[in-house]
Amino acid sequence: MSSILHTGRVITRFGAELLVENPDDPNLPPIRCTAKRKFDSIVCGDYITWHHNPHGNASVDELLARKNALTRPGYRGRPRTIAANIDQLLIVNSWLPEPSWDLVDRYLIAAQQLDAEATILMNKSDLADQYASDEDWLNLDIYRQIGYPVIEINAINGDGIEALKNHMKDKTSILSGRSGVGKSSIANQILPDTDILVGLISDSGEGKHTTTTATLYRLPNGGYLIDSPGVRDYALGDISPKELSDGYIEFHEFALHCRFNNCTHDHEPGCAVRKAVEDNKISKQRYQRYIQALRNLV
C-alpha cells in the first residue's frame, strides 16, 4: 500500500506538514502529509503526489506543475507564495467602509499577472442609497464597460449570493479585500458548513493555523474557495511600468499604436493611450489612478 501514489490538492499548510484532500471522499478527514525541505514551496491550492506511510504521516513525492501562484512581499522584500492554481480573484468592496477604487485596481493588476479572471463584489448593497456617490456608480459602470463582472450582494441577508455561487461554479476562487468589507460574512454565506472542515482540521491537532494560513474549501456545487489573510490588503510587489500598464486591460488595443514600444503612457509624444483618454475612449478616472500608481513605482 505504501508504494501506491495518490494525487491530491493541498488544503492548507503548517510548517513542514500539509493537509491534503482525502482521495476517497473530500468530505472525509483530510490526509496529513509531511513534506521534505525540498518541498518548502508547497502552498494551499497546489496539486501533489503522495503515498501512505505505515509509520506515521503520509509522504509527499512530487509537487505538480502550477497554473499560477499568488505572491506578495515577505520578509526583507522577498516574495512569499500564498496560494496556487487560482482561476478567479473575487475582489470585495463595500459601501461602508467607503469604496477603495485604488485597491480594486491593484487587485485587477494582480489578476492580470496571474492570468486569472477577476470579479468585483460590491457588498452591503443595502447601504448603497445612503453612502454611494455619483462618482462611485460611475466607477462601477467603468469596470463593467471594460469587461469586468460586477455582482452586488448583501452578505447579511443573502441578496446576490446565489448569483455569486453560480459565478464560482467549477472555478478556484480567492477572496480579496481590506478589513471591514465583509469577506468573512461572504465566505460564511457561500460555505454555511465551513465549521465542519474547520473541525476536521482542528482534529488533526493544528486548529489555530487557520487564522494565519491560506485554506482551501470545496464548494458544494463544484469548485473551490481559498480564504487567505495574506490578500486582505494587497500591495503590489516589484513590478515594471510595462507590467503595471498591462494590468489596465482597456489600454491594450491603443498601446499597440503608441509611437514607442516602451511607452509608459505618461509623457511620451505619440502616445495613443493618452489620445484615447482625451477622446473619452478610456476613463479619465482610471487613467489618473494609473499615473499615480506609475509614479509610486519610482
Q: DSSP string of 260-290?
A: STT--SSS-TT-HHHHHHHTTSS-HHHHHHH
Mean predicted lDDT score pLDDT of the chain: 89
Mean pLDDT for the stretch of residues 115-127: 97
- Mark whether 214 and 125 lie in a shared domain: yes
**pLDDT at 144 (0 to 100):** 98
In a domain, 272, yes or no: yes
Of 231, 250, 275, the residue at which a domain comes to its end is 231
Residue 117: all three cell numbers together: 479572471
In a domain, 246, yes or no: yes
What is the CATH number for 153?
3.40.50.300
- Mark whether 122 and 104 lie in a shared domain: yes
Of 63, 82, 105, the residue at which a domain comes to its end is 63
Please state, in angstroms and rounded to a whole number, the distance separating the CA atoms of residues 282 and 1. Answer: 61
In a domain, 18, yes or no: yes
In a domain, 13, yes or no: yes
Is the confidence at residue 4, as pLDDT, over 80? yes
pTM over the 0.75 mark: yes
What is the CATH number for 293?
1.10.40.50
pLDDT digit string, tens, across residues 71-88:
877 767 677 889 999 999
In a domain, 147, yes or no: yes
Q: Which domain holds residue 247?
A: 241-297
**pLDDT at 228 (0 to 100):** 82
- Mark whether 193 and 261 lie in a shared domain: no
pLDDT digit string, tens, across residues 227-270:
887 665 556 667 899 999 999 999 999 999 999 999 999 999 99
- Mark whether 77 and 216 lie in a shared domain: yes
- Mark whether 76 and 216 lie in a shared domain: yes
- Mark whether 221 and 148 lie in a shared domain: yes
- Mark whether 219 and 249 lie in a shared domain: no
159-185: burial string, b at 16+ Cβ within 10 Å, e else: ebbeebbebbeebbbbbbbeeebbbeb
Is the confidence at residue 41, as pLDDT, over 50? yes
In a domain, 1, yes or no: no
Is the confidence at residue 163, as pLDDT, over 50? yes
- Mark whether 147 and 29 lie in a shared domain: no
In a domain, 149, yes or no: yes
- Mark whether 88 and 212 lie in a shared domain: yes
- Mark whether 109 and 208 lie in a shared domain: yes
Is the confidence at residue 298, as pLDDT, over 80? no
pLDDT digit string, tens, across residues 43-71:
999 999 999 998 889 999 999 999 999 88
Annotate 147-190 with three-state secondary structure: CCCEEECECCCCECHHHHHHHHCCCEEEEECCCCCCHHHHHHHH
Higher pLDDT, 253 or 199: 253
- Mark whether 75 and 57 lie in a shared domain: no
Q: How many domains does the chain have?
A: 3
Q: φ, ψ for residue 137 (rounded to 5)?
A: -65, -35
Which residue, 97, 164, 91, 165, is CA-closest to 127?
97
| Strand, coil or helix: 227 | strand
- Mark whether 30 and 108 lie in a shared domain: no
Mean pLDDT for the stretch of residues 99-123: 95
Q: Does residue 46 contact residue 52 with C-beta atoms inside 8 Å? A: no
In a domain, 236, yes or no: no
Please state, in angstroms and rounded to a whole number, the distance separating the CA atoms of residues 158 and 153. Answer: 7
